[in-house]
A and B are shown apart, each in its own frame.
Chain A
């Protein structure tokens, strides 16, 4: 069994399904960065909170996948706005490093608060969708893979439409372009930033629920590594650029699959970082980034 081409196709499927999740998380990083130039290190932990809300909905409230997803996205959006108001808004005019440290503080707070309240115990999701496995020769993929990829594509399409055509989306683009000019044009900058956090956080929650449902386990520290990798994906694609997050996420997923596939699974993360560094050195603004000449 197992011709080389089957193996490659299987690894591509594995990579796309993993990369879709990175892409969803990366979107939140990229949106927040685009608007206030903050690396929101707490983003991965917001995803964790989303996963826990989804878990609560599917276990205690016995809801099915879609309502659980929507509830998790809604409450996480509120959490994102709350964090922004309490921790980041007072620092709007402080140095970016100060905000970065606050973000790290928020991240630690969510992680260790999670350990304190939710206990470090791993929780398992119930089976919310069928465990069907599709087989084509030697190639297999699951119903879950289809759900992950579909959810990611739908959410990204919605996001693109919102950013392009809605009032909020237009306001976001204006604020990210020039905050002061936007406020002079009558755009409420604070509300726009809040909206960005809300949307970014709800996308993270969607990723969290998908991870929980697909891999079946969640714990309070689950956000650290996917968060970091999604951030790398965002930078890889070009931070601040929405299609960049998608490209970056998929590239990360594929790289991880192939490095593991050729038998170097222990070097997988190192390889992902290595590729990031090479890309940054060759094209410092990421794969889809535009080179901007710094103004004097």
Chain B
């Protein structure tokens, strides 16, 4: 049976079809879950797609966090179920306290829509493979609030527990912020060049870039495949 993803749709989500398409393209089953649902049955993993849930009113993700489906998403995550939040989905996961920190408005006050280079870090994340550590992926970003921030203690914990999954890097792979100092600054101003983090258990993963947009090759790159395939490979041993 195909690995089954649930794609959680909020009013204002706008990347759910891209995610559904990308997952189907990769041979997985992907079903939409409307935000009014209170039960999540039969899913192997969940994806919270990008967009503007509830019009980004109040704060990005602040209202979606209280959608009826979110109690089930939290239970699924707490039971170890894999959850990926992309862009607005990442914002929702931080608002729901499934991931630490928050996403501020981009440092330059500009909406950013461009491909970026991301280094896969050695982390506890289920959505990457240990052998991919150090690999640089080209994946587009498309956001106004992607400037990751957290307090010093949280950053220390993220580093110590290997919860930093993806970092923005410059043209030179090593031209990046890491524990020793920051040479490159992410276009959105993200703290420590953080593009994606996971929870301590590694099953909940939030990232600002859109891997679903670089899966089928039509947009010039297929680097997004790695994240979805890695999870399935870890969960069922195939990819």
Chains A and B are bound partners: no
